[in-house]
Amino acid sequence: MGKRDATQELHSSIDQLRARCQSVQINIRVIRTAEQQSSFTKVDSLVTGLEHQCALGDPEEQGYRKKAESFLNACVSDQVKPGLIDYKFQGMILGCKLEDQKEFRQRLECLVQGRCHMNFLDGMMQQFNIVSSLTSSDCDVISENNQGPNTEVPVESTVVSS
């Protein structure tokens, strides 16, 4: 009987913890100035365009990778590969918050590798109501060899329990 009571108590604790976890809300709030918001919007539009080319484009067509390389070279002090630096993009990215710059750099690194970043893929899946079970790493292979997901996205957030 003692073992049965302990099992019931354990199941009760699990149910309580499950209920608590379901009541947790994660709120991420980024505060930007008007200039930072303008720069963010422009840069996000450019990078999202490259991600669309990566996800929907022909694997043989690698033009988006060269553009992503020039954007990435604009983001870093040490060039990824010797090549072009898009100075116009560099001006726009420098107008963004540091956290935004890091996110864009990560997305561009994925594109240079011929991959689409997890956040972009999540957005596409939600847009097309595609249900999938994704696992974790930095990028998801899409255009090169259509392998399954391998994703992880670090997120800084605040947790608010209700």
Q: What is the pLDDT of residues 76-95, one digit of tens each?
A: 877 656 788 899 999 999 99
Residue ranges covered by each domain of the chain? 34-155
Q: pLDDT band at 156, cuts 50/70/90?
A: very low
Q: 34-155 adopts what CATH topology? A: Methane Monooxygenase Hydroxylase; Chain G, domain 1 (1.20.58)
Res. 58: pLDDT tops 70: no
Give the per-residue pLDDT at 44.
95
What is the 3-state secondary structure of the chain? CHHHHHHHHHHHHHHHHHHHHHCEEEECCCCCCHHHHHHHHHHHHHHHHHHHHHHHCCCCCCHHHHHHHHHHHHHCCCCCCCCCCCHHHHHHHHCCCHHHHHHHHHHHHHHHCCEEEHHHHHHHHHHCCCCCCCCCCCEEECCCCCCCCCCCCCCCCEEEEC
